[in-house]
């Protein structure tokens, strides 16, 4: 149980375009979802925390107008990278809580490459 | 000061060795503690939760010392497949999670 999926797993896009990443909890209702970014050989960096039906809480230094988060239901959150630039190329990982006590379950990640 | 600090390693050990990692945290109000394992270019996977009484899962033993604010992970009889980065995670308020930068383990034949 407690499976989180992400789609797409891998995307290449042109600079200036927008990319949407979906995160779904498949077998539980996610009370909270988190979005992380991870650059090569670095640790996970929390970008934002979202609760269903309310606005996401962004970490310091993360532009909310560039990284749009929508958490429309208890099983789906989306992250849209708007006007992507090459420096946005990274591994984006979502996680969700609600499938066990205090435990985060991670999606498989989305590798974004912006040309 | 970082919320969670770990020795980045790498720890290079032979198969069969016992290896231990420590992790310190700064917030005494922290409520939950976890060890995650992350393989290269993959998402973190929960290895085990850490309880005050300590807990063991096969070759893995986790300990929590609230007085000194650190948690530890002990791996006995290391396998090649244990090679990964081990992330220490500390949570409070049930929805605020802090990750350590990870400790890299290389188990060699």
Q: In the 8-state DSSP scheme, what is residue B105?
A: E
Interface of A with B (CB under 8 A): 31-32, 34, 42-44, 46, 49, 91, 93, 97, 101-109, 111
Looking at CA atoms only, how far is residue B82 from chain A in angstroms? 18
Confidence of residue A100 (pLDDT cuts 50, 70, 90): low
Contact check, Cβ <8 Å, A93/B43: yes
Q: Whole-angstrom Cα distance, residue A113 to residue A90? A: 7
SS3 helix, strand, coil % of chain B, rounded to 5? 5, 55, 40
The region of weakest confidence among A21-30, B9-18, B22-31, B86-95 is B86-95
Nearest residue in chain A measured CA to CA from B37: A106
Are A35 and A68 in contact by the 8 Å Cβ rule? The answer is no
Are A109 and A21 in contact by the 8 Å Cβ rule? The answer is no
SS3 labels along A45-109: EEEEEEECCCCCEECCCCCCCCEEEEEEECCEEEEEECCCCHHHCEEEEEEEECCCCCCCEECCC
Nearest residue in chain A measured CA to CA from B101: A43
Q: Whole-angstrom Cα distance, residue B68 to residue B42? A: 32
pLDDT at B95 over 80: no
pLDDT tens sequence across A65-87: 999 999 888 899 999 999 999 99
pLDDT at residue number A35? 95
- Sorted by sequence, the CB contacts under 8 Å of residue B67 that are 6+ apart come out as none
pLDDT tens sequence across A16-66: 999 999 999 998 888 889 999 998 878 888 999 998 878 899 999 999 999
Per-position b or e across B45-68, b if 16+ CB within 10 A of its CB: ebbbbbeeeeeeeeebbbbbeeee
pLDDT tens sequence across B30-85: 888 999 999 988 889 989 989 888 899 999 999 999 999 999 999 999 999 999 99
Q: Whole-angstrom Cα distance, residue B96 to residue B31? A: 10
Looking at CA atoms only, how far is residue B35 from chain A in angstroms? 11
pLDDT at B93 over 80: no
Are A30 and A98 in contact by the 8 Å Cβ rule? The answer is yes
pLDDT at A96 over 70: yes
Contact check, Cβ <8 Å, B87/A43: yes
pLDDT at residue number A99? 61
Nearest residue in chain A measured CA to CA from B49: A103
Looking at CA atoms only, how far is residue A90 from chain B in angstroms? 11
Confidence of residue B97 (pLDDT cuts 50, 70, 90): confident
Mean pLDDT of B96-101: 85
pLDDT at residue number B92? 78
Nearest to B38 by CA among A106, A89, A14: A106
Q: Quick one: how far is CA B19 from the chain centroid?
A: 11
Contact check, Cβ <8 Å, B31/A108: no
Confidence of residue A104 (pLDDT cuts 50, 70, 90): confident
pLDDT at residue number A101? 62
Confidence of residue A4 (pLDDT cuts 50, 70, 90): very high
Q: Closest to A107 (Cβ–Cβ): which among B43, B89, B99?
A: B43
């Amino acid at each position: 149980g407690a499976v989180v999926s992400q789609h797409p797993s891998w995307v290449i896009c042109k600079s200036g375009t927008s990319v949407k990443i979906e995160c779904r909890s498949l077998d539980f209702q996610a009370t909270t979802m988190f979005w992380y970014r991870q650059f090569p050989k670095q640790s996970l960096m929390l970008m934002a925390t979202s609760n269903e039906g309310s606005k996401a809480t962004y970490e310091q230094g993360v532009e909310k107008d560039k990284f749009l988060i929508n958490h429309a239901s208890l099983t789906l959150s989306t992250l849209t990278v708007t006007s992507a630039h090459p420096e946005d190329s990274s591994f984006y990982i979502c996680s969700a809580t609600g499938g066990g006590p205090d435990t985060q379950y991670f999606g498989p990640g989305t590798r974004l490459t912006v040309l | 000061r970082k919320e969670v600090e770990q020795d980045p390693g790498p720890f290079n050990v032979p198969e069969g060795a016992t290896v231990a990692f420590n992790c310190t945290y700064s917030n005494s109000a922290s409520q939950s503690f976890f060890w995650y394992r992350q393989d290269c270019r993959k998402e973190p996977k929960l290895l085990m939760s850490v309880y005050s009484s300590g807990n063991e899962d096969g070759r893995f033993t986790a300990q929590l010392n609230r007085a000194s604010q650190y948690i530890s992970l002990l791996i006995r009889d290391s396998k090649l497949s244990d090679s990964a980065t081990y992330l220490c995670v500390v949570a409070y308020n049930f929805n605020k999670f802090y990750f350590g930068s990870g400790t890299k383990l290389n188990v060699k034949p």
